Chains A and B, each alone.
Chain A
Amino acid sequence: MTKAEEEFQAKIDRDIKIEPKDWMPDAYRKTLVRQISQHAHSEIVGMLPEGNWITRAPSLRRKVALLAKVQDEAGHGLYLYSAVETLGTDREQTIDDMHSGKAKYSSIFNYPTLSWADMGAVGWLVDGAAIVNQVALQRTSYGPYSRAMVKICKEESFHQRQGYELLIHMCNGTKEQKEMAQDALNRFWWPSLMMFGPSDTDSPNTAQSMAWRVKRYTNDDLRQQFVDITVPQAEFLGLTIPDPDLKMNEETGHYEFGEINWEEFFNVVNGNGPCNRERIAARSNAKKNGSWVIDAANAYAEKQRMKKKVA
C-alpha cells in the first residue's frame, strides 16, 4: 500500500467521509461510478413500469399520486447523476453505457406491470427493498452519495407507504381486486428478493466494497432484513407469500426462505428478461428523439450570447 492509500484507508476506518476533491484510489472511484450510475439508471428506467399505468389510473387521486411518485424517481435520478459527475464522469456518457448494455440497472424493472395492483406491489416491495438498501447506504463512505441517500430515503418511504396503502384498499375490496393483489405479489416477490444482488458467496466485489465502506452490509444480510420486515406486512394484507419453504426460525428470530432462482436472475441481468429490450428501447428512443430539442436549446443559447456580445 502506498502512503496515500494508507491515509485514505485510515480515513475510511475512522468513518470520515471522502469528498470529491480528496485523493482516492482509481479502483474506489471506478467502483463508485459504477454503483452510483447504476443506481441512477435504476431510478430512470424505474419510471417506465409505473409510467405504464399513469394513463389508466382508476381515480384522479391515484393518478396524481402516481404522477408525483414517478416525478420523484426522476428527481432521484437527476440527483444521483450529479453525484456521479462529482467523480469526473459525464452523465450522458454513463447513460449511453446503459443504452449499449455496458452499464446495468436494477433487474426488477425488466418485469412487466400487468395490473393496477402492480402499482401497489411496486411501491410496497420495490421501494421497500430500495429503502433497506439505501438506509444502509446513508452511511456509505463517499460524501455526496451518502447525502443523496439521506434525501432520497425520505421520499422512498413515502412511496412505500403509498403503495402499501393502495394494496390495503384493494385487499379490502372486491374478490377480483384481492386476486389482482395476490397475483401482483406472486409476480414481484422473488424479483424483489433478487434486488439485493447475488448471494455473498457469488459476490466477488463484496469484500473490497465492505473494506472501503462503500457497502456497509452484505447482500444476504440486507435480503434477510427485507424478508423479516415484509412477511408480517403480507400477513396483515391477508396475502400469501409464494414460497412454500418460508417459515419463522424461533431460535434466530428470522424467517427462513426458499432458494432463489439464480439462473433467472443472471438471465435477466444479462438481457434476457421479459422487458429488457422494451426498457432499453424506450430510454434510448427518448434520447434519440429528443436530441433535436437539446440542439435547439443550445443553438438558441448561442444566438442569445452572440446578441449580447454585439449589444
Chain B
Amino acid sequence: MTRTEPEPAVAESAPAAALHAGTSDPRTLIMRNLRQSGIYIAFVAIVALFTVLTNGVLLSPGNITNIVLQYSYILVLAIGMVILIIAGHIDLSVGSIVALTGAVSAVLVIQNDQPWAVGALAAVAVGIAVGAWHGFWVAYVGMPAFIVTLAGMLLFRGLTLQVLDNVSLSPFPPEYQKVAGGFLNGLLGGQGYDAFTLLIAGIAVAGYTVSVFRTRLARIRYEQPVESFPLFVARVLLVAAVVMYFAWQLAHARGLPIVLIVLAVLVLAYGLMTKSSVFGRQVYAIGGNLSAAMLSGVKVRKVNFWIFVNMGFLAGVAGVIYSSRSNGAQPAAGNMFELDAIAAAFIGGAAVAGGVGTVVGAVVGGLIMAVMSNGMQLMGVEQSTQSIVKGLVLLLAVAFDIYNKRRAGTTR
C-alpha cells in the first residue's frame, strides 16, 4: 500500500452519533414514519369522528361485532391485493372469484347435500385454480395483470351465472353459517361477559409486547436507531389499551367471532411473510425495480405466479366467508369487492408504482373504509352520499401520500 494511513477524519456527524446511542428525537422518527403512522392517526380520527356523530353507537359492543362480521371478507381480500400491488400488479377479478367460489360451495352443500367442509374446501380449491390461471397469463405469458384480471372479472362472473343457472341458492345448513356468524365463547364462563375472549386478547397483547421489545433490544444491539424509551412504552400501552378495550366490548356482546380468529391468523401470517421471508422480500424487490430484481437472481416469474395463486386462495376464503354470511350464493355476489380491496391497499399506504405497502396498512385501510361505511349507515346517510365520501377519502389518502413523499424530498 502506498497510501497514507486513512485518518478517521470523517468522524460521524452529530445526528448519526445520536442515532447510534440507541435513542432518537421523536420528531425525526415521526417524520420518517409519517407515512405509516399517518394512517393510524387517520384511523383513530375517523373512529372518534363517527363515535361522536353516532352518539357512541359506533363503539357499542353489538356494533363492533357487526363491523367485524360485515367487513371481514374485504379485509381478507385486501391482504392478497396489497401483496399484488407491492409487486406492481393488480387484480380486478376478486369480486367475481368471491361469487364463483361461493356458488361452487352452494351447489355442493345446498344442492348436493355435501358436508359443509367439502363445500368450503372446494371453494378454496376453485379460488386457487383461478389464481393459477391468472398467474399463468401474467407471469409466463407476460401480459399486464390489469388486462388479464379484467378478462377474468368477466369470465368468472359468467361462470358464476352458469354454475348457479342464473338463480340464487339458499339457505346453507347451520354449521356452514357458523363460519361467518359463529362465536367462540362460553369456554371459560363469566359474569355477563366472555372470559375466553379476554384471555385470548390478553395473550395477544403479551405476545405483541414481548415481540416488539425483543425487536427493540436487537436493534439496539445492532446499533440501529430506535424511538426513545418513553415513546416506545407509550406506543405499547396504547396498542394494549385499544386491543383490550376492543376485546372487552366483544366479550360483552356475543364473544369472539370465528372470522376474527381467521382474520388475526391471516394478518399475522402474511405480515410476517411479507416482512421477513425470502419470498416476501422478493415481492418488494420486484415491485421496487423489476430489472434489478431479475439481475439479483430473483425468480420473477415464479414469484409473480405464486402471488396470484395466493390471491386466488384468499379470494376463495373470502368467498366462503361471504356465502356463509349472506347464507347463500347469488349471481351478483361480490360486485365491486375488488374496488374496496384496492382502495384499502392504497389508503393503507401502498404505492401505485409498486414496491411499497404493508399488510397491516392494508388491513387498517380496510378498517377505515369499514368504519366509514358502518358509521354512515348508522347515521342513515344515503347510499349515494356514502359512495361520494368513500371516493373522496381514497383521493385524499393518496394525495396525502404523494405530498408526504414530496416533503421527504425523494425525487423520483
Partners in one complex: no
- Residue numbers of A with Cβ under 8 A of B are none
- Residue numbers of B with Cβ under 8 A of A are none
